[in-house]
Amino acid sequence: MTQTWQGVSSISFEADETLKKLIERDKLCQTALVDVIPELCFNSIKHGKASEVMVSIEKSSPKTILLKVSDNGQKVAEKSNKGLGTKLLDECAISWKREKAKDLVVTSAEFAISA
């Protein structure tokens, strides 16, 4: 599924239907993702000037999922003051990282999910 963000950027989302159902049953994980995903997409567009954002979720272990938000924007320099996206990731994710991989900026975050 792809949606256009006010003609500025396209955002695509990919997750297995079985995994979507698992996330729906885990309200804590679902709430974390509902908070984190829009903020990461917004930051990719606003700060990174991305025209394409790809969001994917996959199962990484029986008790964890891996969220990846990849974009074709520019990696923003790390700042001393944390923005909302960083604060949400620090509070909600088990671990997370942001790196430049080829022509993409990829933010990966691991979240707990009920088995």
Token look-up 């606003």 returns 46
* Buried residues in 69-104 as b, exposed as e (16+ CB within 10 A): bbbbbeeeeeeeeeeebbebbeebbeebebeeeeeb
**Mean pLDDT across 14-25:** 96
pLDDT attached to residue 9: 87
Assess contact for 82 and 90: CB atoms under 8 A. Answer: yes
Domains (range + CATH), the chain: 9-112 (3.30.565.10)
Q: Is the pLDDT of residue 1 over 60?
A: no
**Residue 19 neighbours by CB under 8 Å, 6+ apart:** 57, 58, 59, 65
At 70-109, the pLDDT tens digits run 999 987 766 646 788 899 999 999 999 999 988 999 999 9
